[in-house]
Amino acid sequence: MVTFSIFIYMADRIEQLKEYARIIKDTPYALRTYLRTFDNTQKKSENKLVPLDLFPDQIQLIKDYEDYNENITRKYRQAGVTTVTAAWISKKLQIAKIDSPERVLIVANKRDTAIEMANKIRHFLNQWPDWMNVGFSPDKNSESRFKLNNDCEVKAVATSPDALRGYTPTILIFDEAAYIEAGDNFWAASMASLSTGGKVILISTPNGFDPIYYTMYEQSIRGDNDFHITDLKWYNDPRYSKELRWIKVKDMVHYMLNRELYNDDELVTYESDKTKWQDLMDDGYKPYSPWFEGMAKKFKYDKRKIAQELECDFLGSGDNIIPNDVRDNIVKNMIREPNEKFMNGALWHWKEPIPGHRYIMGVDVSRGDSEDFSSINIIDFDDMEQCVEYIGKIPPDDLASVAYKWGILYKAFIIVDITGGMGVATSRKLQEMGYRDLFIDGINTMNVWEYNAKLMDKIPGINFNNKRTQIVASLEEHLRHGFIVKSVRFMNELNTFVYINGRPDHMKGTHDDSIMSLSIALYGGDICFSQLQKADAVNKSMMDAWTLSERTYEPNKSFYSYGKAFDPFGVTDANTGREVRNPLFDNPDIKQRQNQYKDYAWLFGNIDKYR
């Protein structure tokens, strides 16, 4: 009996070892076989706790995790990536050897977000069968940190300077990485903390051009780092692609809200062959399903939310100040390399000055030793295009020398940002050098182009912060109406120029120096050139409204044919050529009125004329 029991045990043990080997080798099989998860797409009457049945994109995601040490996942909302990642980690922890334990660090913008993923891992760890489950250690067992009996450990933290202290992860996960508000220093410290040969995973939906997630993604596309990209699309998800069709429209939101304006017979195609989908998208088709429209409705048909949560679009997903179609047009049709570069590549030059054109220079000043850069932009206000751009770190007085040289070359009207006092040194230096065409805030802009020595006592320049909204609005309006931007440096700043708490500003870890100098130049043109143009137009309209009567005297006409009754000072007789006194002006009533005017002429200033 004992022998038979041992045989059964040995037979079971052999099967377990075979199964264990398969679990190690085939992760998708292991997760589908042993793990269950909640599926909210199931009907209410059904059990929502279902086997973790993976679809092809999720299987590819797991394969990428195992094949590459550095991974970026771009996902749509409700893609199940966090769930699949947590399941994959739970298997890694269960099979880890005690002499080489896995140490997982989950980083998120909010502590609750990181803890939510840690709880998913804990939930999956409990589901593995007893014969292979290592169990939890009593040493550490809190919601944000727990340990297993094989010395593996999971820690969940929010981004902070102390988040990485005293912990060396073998697997570093950034959950919703695009929303992490941290700069380059935190990213560098995170990567430095990773143990040799460890894995790093960035998971997120896009959030505009953020400094961590988007930067790593873009660098990966260019081949500047070793990150491997896994792109997940909602139309590959069998849960959401039921009744999938392709619609050839430019604006899907407009289509969903205005069906009566579209002819589906001409626009809609049904194509189930996945190999042809990319060709359809290249031809202008967009994917659609009832699930997609249901999600769009939940987002109140907000285009930014749809681009962010469903379409995984970097361009349209952020709170960018400049609309994505405007930025897209700049990238496709305007950006080009400068004709020349000066000052070790800091100053870019595209266009020579044209005689008779009006040029404005905007100057944004920094200390020259801080994280911000000083910037100069020269624009052609007649052709509405960017001519010169400088971005660099030099002291304010040296910046004045650069502005002076290029200002003389272009005969530019210079506007300096004096916010915070840094620009004061630049403005005063320009005055010392004898530069006359400087913008002075708070004066009559109708006469701003006329040199006035008394005004030189004032500090030339503009306070950007006092007029931030108006200046940024001027930039947005000009870009929408086709102002030609040529600098890729400016465009990179524009991608991260967003509304932060309702205020136009750059994302943390990015810059807006070129934006500031160009915006100031455009704003200066609006309040000076444009107002002068408007004044000229008003004056022209008034002049055009006046009529000029030119008298031509003919000998055969009588004295009264020329309207002498309306000429108090007389006319020239066409026959004799002598001045003839208008007889009506000798009328006593008219004389009396003239004498009264002389008596009160002092009211009109020129009294001596009537003495």
**Dist CA 177 CA 185 (whole Å):** 15
What pLDDT band is residue 381 in, cutting at 50, 70 and 90? very high
Residues 375 and 505 both lie in one domain = yes
**Dist CA 525 CA 553 (whole Å):** 50
Residue 164 lies in a domain: yes
Give the mean model confidence (pLDDT) for residues 466-483.
89
Look at residue 171 in the predicted model and tell me its pLDDT.
95
Look at residue 236 in the predicted model and tell me its pLDDT.
95
pLDDT at residue 475 greater than cutoff 90:
yes
| Percent of the chain surpassing pLDDT 70 | 78
pLDDT at residue 583 greater than cutoff 80:
no
Look at residue 60 in the predicted model and tell me its pLDDT.
96
Q: What is the CATH number of the domain that holds 481?
A: 3.30.420.240
pLDDT digits (tens, 9 = 90+) for 549-577: 444 444 444 434 434 443 444 445 545 55
Residue 173 lies in a domain: yes
Residue listed under structure tokens 């055969």: 556
Look at residue 40 in the predicted model and tell me its pLDDT.
67
Tokens representing residue 96 in the block: 């880890």
pLDDT at residue 387 greater than cutoff 90:
yes
Q: What is the CATH number of the domain that holds 205?
A: 3.40.50.300
Contact (Cβ atoms closer than 8 angstroms) between residue 472 and residue 504: yes
Give the mean model confidence (pLDDT) for residues 194-223.
86
CA nearest neighbour of 128 among 52, 39, 15:
52
Residues 309 and 357 both lie in one domain = no
Residue 325 lies in a domain: no
Residues 251 and 341 both lie in one domain = no
| Percent of the chain surpassing pLDDT 90 | 51
What pLDDT band is residue 200 in, cutting at 50, 70 and 90? very high
Helix (H) / strand (E) containing 588: helix 588-599
Residues 272 and 346 both lie in one domain = no
Residue 517 lies in a domain: yes
Residues 221 and 312 both lie in one domain = no
Residue listed under structure tokens 């803890």: 115
Residue 447 lies in a domain: yes
Domain boundary residue, one of 473, 506, 533: 533
Look at residue 541 in the predicted model and tell me its pLDDT.
59
pLDDT at residue 544 greater than cutoff 70:
no
Residue 400 lies in a domain: yes
Residues 217 and 249 both lie in one domain = no
Count of domains observed in the chain: 4
Residue 544 lies in a domain: no
DSSP letter (8 states) at residue 484: B
CA nearest neighbour of 237 among 274, 282, 211:
274
Residue 1 lies in a domain: no
Helical H segments across 396-528, by residue range: 396-410, 422-432, 468-480, 488-495, 513-527
Residues 177 and 250 both lie in one domain = no
Residues 109 and 256 both lie in one domain = no
pLDDT digits (tens, 9 = 90+) for 518-539: 999 999 988 876 554 554 555 5
Look at residue 1 in the predicted model and tell me its pLDDT.
46
DSSP letter (8 states) at residue 42: S
Domain boundary residue, one of 211, 230, 249: 230
What pLDDT band is residue 289 in, cutting at 50, 70 and 90? very high
**Dist CA 420 CA 443 (whole Å):** 21
Residues 243 and 374 both lie in one domain = no
Phi, psi of 344 (to 5 degrees): 60, 35
Residues 210 and 250 both lie in one domain = no
Domain boundary residue, one of 508, 533, 558: 533
pLDDT at residue 70 greater than cutoff 80:
yes
Domain around 296:
236-318
Residue 379's contacts (CB-CB under 8 Å, 6 or more residues apart) are 359, 360, 362, 385, 386, 387, 483, 518, 521, 522, 525
pLDDT digits (tens, 9 = 90+) for 36-54: 998 766 666 566 788 898 9
pLDDT at residue 63 greater than cutoff 50:
yes
pLDDT at residue 444 greater than cutoff 80:
no
SS3 233: coil
Residues 301 and 351 both lie in one domain = no
Residues 467 and 599 both lie in one domain = no
